[in-house]
Amino acid sequence: MVRSPVGKVTPAPAAPSPLPARVILPGAVLGVMGGGQLGAMFAMAAKRMGYRVEVISDSEDCPSAHHADRVHVGAYDDTRKLEQIAQALDVLTFEFENVPVDAARAMQEVVPVRPDPLVLFTTQDRAREKAFLVEHGFGCAPHRVVRSQDELHAAVAALGLPAVLKTAAFGYDGKGQRKIEHSSAVDAAWEALGPEACVLEGWVDFDCEISVVAARGLDGATAVFEPSRNAHRHHILDVSSAPAGLPQAVCDTARDMASRILANLGVVGVACVEFFVTRDGRVLVNEIAPRPHNSGHLTIAACETSQFEQQVRAVCGLPLGSTQQLAPAAMANLLGDCWANGEPDWAAALAVPGVSLMLYGKSDPRPGRKMGHLTALAPTVEEAIANATKARGLARRDVDR
């Protein structure tokens, strides 16, 4: 196994990269497809480093609009308009994976697109992503691709129950998923999610879920962050913390797999690999996001280089930064539910030691909508988790003071 200590950048492989090596320096114009909070935090990192940022979004009132130099509002598949926008950019990246691949390919005729649209193609479809994992020998949940009710019954017979049926495309935060506990529920699951292609996964009785954010540069060098341990509520990430509190061998395996997945996909940029850690210590890939990830937000406060600065460095062909973590950290998501008792009490939250606040500038706090996050740094990860969740409870006004 290739082990790289956290913080160190693994040098580029010896073979010369076929990619053009032009470094995109501060002052240049970076384009981002998508106007959400990931684009906003990318823009903050890029602006701080002296770049101009132009965002392409389907909505004018998007989090990135508060931070970018320019927002182009339009459809993500309006190829003609996108090609025009691309003329003014030095590089294009994206902050969500469901960018139409054809549009990304069209823009690639005009401007470097990083990661390559092929990475989007592989990761925006669970069936293709699983085929990639199997082909390259990365462990994942047992699964079958199903395209009809009969195929679903055959897959259930092969994998057993419980299992989880997932639409192959456009799933996130548990959307487009159905857990099937009994054979009597198979047809209802197909009615809910078919007839689009789906993937049936055997249920993984995991000990915990972790994720690894990693970056890969234009020269093939990689830099891998510490794994985060992730706790979900109602299928949405609730709290991420690092260090993950797992045996070193498990962390090393996850980091090594993430690094090799980025290399095998040919990513230039940042990606996150989510894993299940089984009770017997196996590390199985759940899914890959070819962009910075919610579980990596704690890198902003806790690491020498944040995942967003790392994305800027990678797509610009700059050297990757150190991923060294400076203190144990925990991040608690702030969903729209936190506004249920009125405007949250930010002063109370920020009185908790080591806590910082990031709000995404969204105006409508709908339940389940990611509005921001709190990060706590502390001497131990247990204290960081306790302080992040305490701060959130205080903000939500739902705990005794």
Whether omega for the bond prior to residue 227 falls within 30 degrees of 0, making it cis, is no
Give the nearest distance from C-beta 49 to ligand AMP in angstroms: 32
User: Residue 161, exposed/middle/buried by CB under 10 A (0-12, 13-18, 19+)?
Assistant: middle
Residues 18-77 interacting with ligand AMP (rule: CB under 6 A): none
Judged by CB under 6 A, does residue 201 bind ligand AMP? yes
Interface with ligand AMP (CB under 6 A), residue total: 14
Sheet of 52-57, strands arranged across:
70-73, 52-57, 29-33, 91-94
Distance of CA 315 to the CA centre of its chain: 16
Which residues between 274 and 333 bind ligand AMP (CB under 6 A)?
A: 274, 286-287
Structure tokens at 125: 């479809």
Shortest spacing between CB 292 and ligand AMP, in angstroms: 16
Q: Closer to ligand AMP at the Cβ: 97 or 209? A: 209
Residue 129 engages ligand AMP in binding (rule: CB under 6 A): no
**141 in contact with ligand AMP (CB under 6 A):** yes
Please report, to the nearest 10 degrees, the dihedral formed by the alpha carbons of residues 383, 386, 389, 391 taken in order. -70
Q: Does 272 bind ligand AMP (CB under 6 A)?
A: no
Q: Which residues pair with 209 in a beta bridge?
A: 230, 276
**Residue 233 within binding range of ligand AMP, rule CB under 6 A:** no
Q: Which of residues 355-384 bind ligand AMP (CB under 6 A)?
A: none
Question: Binding to ligand AMP by residue 139, rule CB under 6 A?
Answer: no
Structure tokens at 324: 């060294």
Q: Among 46, 91, 127, 204, indicate the residue that binds ligand AMP (CB under 6 A).
A: 204
CB 243 within 8 A of CB 33: no
In whole angstroms, how close is the CB of 93 to ligand AMP at the nearest point?
22
Is 203 a binding residue for ligand AMP by CB under 6 A? The answer is yes
Please state, in angstroms and rounded to a whole number, the distance separating the CA atoms of residues 383 and 389: 10
For ligand AMP, which is the closer residue by CB, 264 or 286? 286
Q: Which helix (H) or strand (E) holds 272?
A: strand 269-278
By CB under 6 A, name the one of 26, 139, 174, 245 that touches ligand AMP: 174
CA distances from 150 to 142, 165, 176, 202 (A): 19, 14, 20, 17
- Counting contacts by CB under 6 A, is residue 346 touching ligand AMP? no
164 makes contact with ligand AMP (CB under 6 A): yes
Q: What angle do CA 212, 215, 220 make, to 5 degrees?
A: 130
Nearer to ligand AMP, 121 or 203 (CB): 203
Return d(Cα 332, Cα 124) in angstroms, integer.
26
Three-class DSSP category at 120 = helix
Minimum Å gap between C-beta 287 and ligand AMP is 5
DSSP 146: E
Q: From the CB of 179, what's the least distance to ligand AMP, in Å? A: 8
Positions that interact with ligand AMP (CB under 6 A) = 141, 164, 166, 171, 174, 201, 203-204, 209, 232, 235, 274, 286-287
